[in-house]
Structure 1
Amino acid sequence: MAKPVISPDFTIEDIHKIREYHYELTKDMTTQEKINFYNEGGRAFLKEMEERKLQKAQL
């Protein structure tokens, strides 16, 4: 399944697309694979937020 295209307005339909996409990605994963998948995504998100915080502080 292709990564969903999110509208600039971020509607409820976008949320449905994201949920369906994640379901398709994880439906055949074991519990440990799902844990690893979500932990990796969480770490990437935290890294991005820290980088944005640093950029904002430099302004």
Structure 2
Amino acid sequence: MWRKSSYSANAVDCVEVGRGVGIRDTKAPATHLAVAPGSWSTFLLSVKLGKFARSGQTD
């Protein structure tokens, strides 16, 4: 089952996450990038900690 971020609203240019499957672009739903659960958890934690924020931006 694929989920789109609530931040995407009704936009068509979105990334979706599939539990145990990976991530995919809504414009190319037939393909996806497999992501290991541990790697996904690490990525989410990094996002929450602001490691991908632009320089000087924390929100």
Both proteins in one fold, TM over 0.5: no
For this structure pair, what is the TM-score category when the shorter chain's length is used for normalisation? Answer: 0.3 to 0.5
Is the helix fraction higher in 1 or 2? 1
TM-score of the two chains, using structure 2 as the length reference: 0.33
TM-score of the two chains, using structure 1 as the length reference: 0.33
Bigger RCO (CA 8 Å, 6+ sep): 1
Larger Rg: 1
